[in-house]
């Protein structure tokens, strides 16, 4: 029979201890896998949830030939999600890249839940491939690599439940690391370029390659990203790519997308914003309101972290594989440290650096350091929602950011390991030190000046806000009637089984009333009748225009009348005789007009006809007092305003304004035109005298001010603004218009 020989160098009892250790690790691994399956994979398999629908809807629209330049508009994308039968789940594509939808494009022909299930199986395959590469790249062994992977239980669970992309990004980062360690530098850069197409931060490895003078890797990354940019333009069109790079990416880089005050993000950016910047709805109770202090502290923190890590990575000339793995891992941790809006699922990427560093420490026999690393890693990947109050105020805000504390401690430990592992002496006056000092000064100066510039005028609208809807993150599409403002708002249900929804709201005498029934209701319209309201009701097949009374409840189909099928965004003439609306075919909009009968019991509509074809791709429209219509049109990559008469149907392009202009609104006296112009990636409200063509810009902050509408006296404008908020998450404010 076979005989097993004991290790002659082993101490008495050591084999037994190692055996018990291995059994304990196996048992813990089995427990973690079971927890992942029960709390993550199975619930993800049963429910669609978010965020998979974000990618699925855009992929489906692309598959069906829709232009994608509007996917970053909240309500537009939500309407198409409703049309596809997503199941009343809130969708948003901010701040995702356009090519990230291509990852699920092959699945977009399937029903949504079936597509997600296929995506979950693919994610298991991605995770398995990552495991294989890590097991072969390190000497930890399969058991310990698996153990470290599933210690990131909460990030993995969140990634699968929400159907996110981060397991795929982890695979690409791991593949890029393996190629880099094996000397395939150019291919490593290409793999990172693919990752950067899905999530931006892998593209920042360009700085790492430049610091380490890895020119082939840098060339691969630059060429790969350039190629994907050209492919994106070819696939999605210049207009869609331009919207992303000019209007979305700058907000994403500042961490001002999807509520920058949300404690979910767990970043220095969110903590400082929550403590130091007041916002009437999203952050009404900061510790103090000192935006200038945020403007200084945030770049100071980023510059300090970035410059210190670059110094520690750059000054060492050690070229062994262990040092290369440590530097790669440290830089990836740095990118997670400086991320402006990291959700729990982002920390799936932390698996790679922790496995690489733990393997290096194990090889060196530094078990205490390895234990510290593992402990902090587990804490970073923990679940801390229970620590945070529902509406934290003052110093209690800090209790909502334990993950930030733990990842800072983890970063400090890795920095210590990085510095102590170098063989050569550390010279403070080395070339790397000077470079890091320059990086620190540049980041701090540019960040501080950039923040001050961004904050200029950002908070001016706070004093003129017109409505607050408790718990709502958005108010948009305002229309005004004497003593009343109607608008669209996102209604939170606060119950997991009942999804959030868009609803039409009425502000009257300082009270707010909501109107919705069986789906999303958006884009209200009003005329002269004091009680009649029009709205777009979004259904699973298409949108329809409905009419209802603002006096009654909205609890059954008997409370509203369907006016037009396959119709969107109603606009009513001031005398209530005409109704204009948009009809969409494959993402291109035509403009139609109804002749409306006098409103009375059982009244219907007459005379529906088209006045501007889909070649104009009409976006917004408004009536003159004499029934002429002005509308915005996207043609040739920019927006222009056009004027037409519903009777003659002659369409004439307006010579002025000359900017890219949207959201036209004619004053009730017919003398002035309000609109929004795009300027350096943001939209600003302008007013033009229609007789003299004299123009005045009314807003100028580094944010968006859109959808202006006039008050009945032609003296004020009500408009939607995302200043001081997340991109597109607008609030309503009032502007006095000086004649």
Three-class DSSP labels, 517-571 = CCCEEEEEEECCCCCEEEEEEECCCCEEEEEEECCCCCCCHHHEEEEEECCEEEE
- What's the pLDDT tens digit per position in 427-466? 454 677 788 888 899 999 999 999 999 999 999 999 999 9
Determine, yes or no, domain membership for 181: no
The first and second tokens of residue 253, run together, are: 């880089």
Handedness of CA 368, 369, 370, 371 (dihedral sign): positive
Contacts of 14 (CB under 8 A, 6+ apart): 7
φ and ψ of 385, to 5 deg:
-60, -30
Give the pLDDT confidence of 110-126 residue by residue, as tens digits.
999 999 999 999 999 99
**448 shares its domain with 465:** no
Distance CA 122, CA 104 (A): 10
Q: Are residues 501 and 377 in the same domain?
A: no
Q: Is the per-residue pLDDT at 7 higher than 50?
A: no
Tell me the C-alpha distance between 345 and 381, whole Å: 9
Q: Residues 442, 338: one domain? A: yes
Torsion, CA 286, CA 291, CA 297, CA 301, rounded to 10: 80
| Token couple for 497 | 């089984």
pLDDT over 80 (residue 655): yes
Both 668 and 547 in one domain: the answer is: yes
Q: 236 and 61 in contact (C-beta within 8 Å)? A: no
Based on the domain organization, do 398 and 307 belong to the same domain? yes
Instruction: Inform me whether the pLDDT recorded for 737 exceeds 80.
Output: yes
Same domain, 728 and 634: yes
User: Is residue 348 domain-shared with residue 431, that is, in the same domain?
Assistant: yes
Q: What is the pLDDT of residues 631-652, one digit of tens each?
A: 999 887 789 999 999 888 899 9
CA 274, 280, 281: angle at the middle one, nearest 5? 80
State how many domains the chain has: 2
Distance CA 209, CA 197 (A): 18
The enclosing domain of 508 has a CATH number of: 2.120.10.30
**Residue given tokens 């910047």 in the structure block:** 277
The last residue of a domain, from among 402, 426, 455: 455
Looking at 407, 436, 455, the residue that finishes a domain is: 455
- In a domain, residue 39? The reply is no
* Residue 16 confidence (pLDDT): 60
546 belongs to a structural domain: yes
CA distance 612 to 114: 39
Pair 263, 332 in one domain: yes
Q: Write out pLDDT tens, residues 71-108.
A: 999 999 999 999 988 876 789 999 999 999 999 999 99
Question: Is residue 200 domain-resident?
Answer: no
In the structure encoding, which two tokens stand for residue 165, read together? 């992309």
CA distance 175 to 169: 10
Q: Are 590 and 582 in contact (CB under 8 A)?
A: yes
> In the beta sheet, which residues pair with residue 501?
491
> Is residue 447 domain-shared with residue 465, that is, in the same domain?
no
CA dihedral 704, 706, 711, 715 (to 10 degrees): 60
* Residue 326: domain span: 258-455
Contacts of 516 (CB under 8 A, 6+ apart): 491, 501, 502, 503, 504, 554
Residue 513, exposed/middle/buried by CB under 10 A (0-12, 13-18, 19+)?
Answer: middle
The secondary structure element, H or E, covering residue 588 is strand 588-596
B/e letters for 633-652, b = 16+ CB within 10 Å, e = fewer, are bbeeeebbbbbbebeeeebe
pLDDT of residue 598: 55
The DSSP line for 192-251 is: HHHHHHHSSGGGGHHHHHHHTT-HHHHHHHHHHHHHHHHHHHHHH-HHHHHHIIIIIHHH
Model confidence at 4: pLDDT above 60? no
pLDDT at 467: 87
Asked if residue 477 and residue 443 are part of one domain, the reply reads no
288-315 average pLDDT score: 92
Confidence of residue 22 (pLDDT cuts 50, 70, 90): confident
The C-alpha atoms of residue 298 and residue 285 are separated, in whole angstroms, by 20
For the chain, percent of residues with pLDDT exceeding 70: 93
Pairing of strands 629-635, 716-721: unpaired
Give domain status of residue 696, yes or no: yes
321 pLDDT more than 90: no
pLDDT for position 633? 94
Q: Is 80 exceeded by the pLDDT of residue 739?
A: no
Task: Write down which residue in 408, 429, 455 finishes a domain.
Answer: 455
Q: For 467-506, how does the pLDDT look when each residue is reduced to its tens digit (9 = 90+)? A: 877 767 899 999 999 889 999 998 765 444 455 789 999 9
What is the structure's pLDDT at 670? Answer: 92
Coil vs helix vs strand at 456: coil
pLDDT at 317 over 80: no
For residues 375 and 416, state if they share a domain.
Answer: yes
Question: What is the layout of strands, in order, in the sheet containing 731-736?
Answer: 705-710, 716-721, 731-736
265 inside domain = yes
**Best CA proximity match to 331, nearest among 188, 226, 235:** 188
Position 166 in a domain: no
Q: Among 251, 293, 241, 240, which residue's Cα sits nearest to residue 271?
A: 293
Per residue in 498-535, pLDDT (tens digit) is 557 899 999 988 888 888 888 899 999 998 888 899 99
498 inside domain: yes
pLDDT at 738: 73
Strand order in the sheet with 638-644: 618-623, 629-635, 638-644, 651-653
pLDDT tens string 386-420: 888 777 887 888 888 999 999 999 999 999 999 88
Residue 250 tokens, joined: 């700058």
In this structure, the answer to whether residues 377 and 492 fall within a common structural domain is no
Tens of pLDDT along 215-255? 999 999 999 999 999 999 999 999 999 999 999 999 998 88
């Amino acid at each position: 029979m076979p005989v097993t020989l004991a290790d002659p160098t082993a101490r008495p009892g050591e084999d037994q201890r190692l055996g018990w250790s291995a059994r304990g690790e196996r048992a813990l691994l089995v427990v973690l896998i079971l927890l992942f399956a029960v709390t993550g994979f199975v619930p993800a398999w049963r429910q669609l949830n978010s965020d998979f629908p974000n990618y699925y809807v855009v992929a489906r629209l692309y598959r069906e030939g829709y232009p994608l330049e509007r996917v970053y508009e909240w309500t537009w994308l939500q309407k198409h999600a409703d049309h596809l039968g997503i199941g009343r789940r809130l969708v948003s594509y901010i701040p995702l890249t356009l090519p990230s939808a291509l990852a699920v494009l092959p699945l977009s022909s399937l029903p949504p839940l079936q597509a997600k299930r296929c995506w979950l199986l693919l994610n298991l395959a991605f995770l398995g491939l990552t495991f294989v590469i890590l097991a072969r790249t390190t000497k930890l062994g399969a058991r310990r690599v698996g153990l470290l992977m599933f210690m990131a239980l909460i990030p993995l669970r969140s990634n699968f439940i929400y159907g996110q992309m981060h397991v795929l990004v982890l695979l690409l980062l791991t593949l890029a690391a393996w190629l880099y360690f094996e000397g395939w530098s150019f291919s490593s850069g290409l793999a990172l370029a693919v990752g950067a197409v899905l999530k931006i931060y892998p593209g920042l490895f360009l700085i790492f390659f430049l610091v380490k003078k890895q020119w082939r890797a840098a060339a691969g990354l630059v060429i790969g990203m350039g190629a994907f940019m050209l492919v994106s333009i070819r696939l999605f069109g210049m207009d869609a790519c331009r919207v992303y790079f000019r209007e979305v990416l700058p907000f994403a880089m500042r961490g001002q997308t999807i509520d920058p005050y949300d404690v979910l993000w767990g970043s220095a950016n969110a903590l400082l914003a929550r403590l130091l910047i007041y916002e009437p709805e999203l952050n009404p109770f900061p510790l103090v309101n000192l935006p200038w202090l945020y403007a200084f502290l945030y770049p100071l923190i980023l510059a300090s972290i970035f410059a210190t890590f670059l110094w520690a990575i750059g000054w060492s000339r050690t070229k062994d594989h262990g040092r290369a793995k440590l530097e790669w891992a440290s830089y990836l941790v740095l990118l997670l440290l400086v991320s402006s809006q990291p959700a729990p699922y982002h920390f799936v990427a932390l698996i790679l650096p922790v496995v690489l560093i733990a393997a290096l420490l194990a090889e060196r026999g530094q078990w205490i350091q390895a234990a510290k690393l593992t402990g902090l890693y587990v804490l970073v990947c923990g679940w801390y929602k229970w620590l945070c109050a529902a509406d934290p105020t003052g110093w209690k805000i800090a209790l909502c950011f334990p993950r930030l504390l733990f990842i800072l401690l983890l970063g400090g430990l890795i920095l210590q390991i990085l510095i102590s592992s170098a063989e050569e002496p550390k010279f403070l006056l080395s070339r790397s030190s000077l470079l890091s000092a320059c990086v620190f000064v540049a980041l701090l100066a540019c960040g501080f000046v950039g923040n001050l510039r961004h904050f200029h005028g950002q908070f001016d609208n706070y004093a003129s806000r017109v409505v607050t809807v408790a718990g709502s993150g958005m108010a948009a599409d305002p229309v005004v009637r004497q003593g009343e403002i109607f608008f669209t708002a996102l209604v939170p249900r606060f119950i997991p089984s009942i999804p959030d929804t868009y609803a039409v709201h009425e502000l009257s005498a300082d009270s707010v009333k909501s109107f919705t029934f069986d789906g999303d209701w958006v884009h209200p319209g009003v005329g002269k009748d004091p009680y009649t309201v029009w709205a777009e009701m979004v259904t699973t097949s298409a949108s329809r225009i409905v009419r209802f009374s603002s006096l009654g409840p909205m609890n059954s189909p008997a409370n509203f009348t369907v006016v037009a099928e396959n119709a969107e965004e109603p606009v009513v003439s001031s005398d209530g005789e005409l109704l204009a609306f948009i009809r969409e075919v494959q993402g291109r909009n035509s403009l139609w007009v109804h002749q409306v009968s006098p409103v009375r019991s059982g009244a219907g509509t007459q005379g529906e006809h088209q006045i501007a074809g889909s070649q104009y791709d009409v976006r917004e429209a408004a009536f003159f007092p004499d029934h002429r219509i002005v509308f915005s049109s996207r043609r040739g990559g920019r927006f222009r305003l056009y004027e037409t008469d519903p009777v003659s149907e002659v369409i004439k392009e307006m010579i002025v304004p000359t900017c890219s202009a949207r959201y036209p609104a004619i004053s009730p006296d017919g003398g002035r035109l309000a609109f929004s112009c795009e300027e350096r990636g943001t939209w600003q409200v302008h007013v033009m005298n229609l007789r003299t063509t004299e123009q005045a810009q009314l807003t100028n902050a580094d944010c968006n001010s859109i959808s202006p509408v006039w008050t009945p006296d032609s003296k004020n404008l009500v408009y939607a603004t995302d200043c001081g908020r997340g991109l597109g998450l607008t609030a309503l404010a009032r502007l006095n218009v000086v004649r």
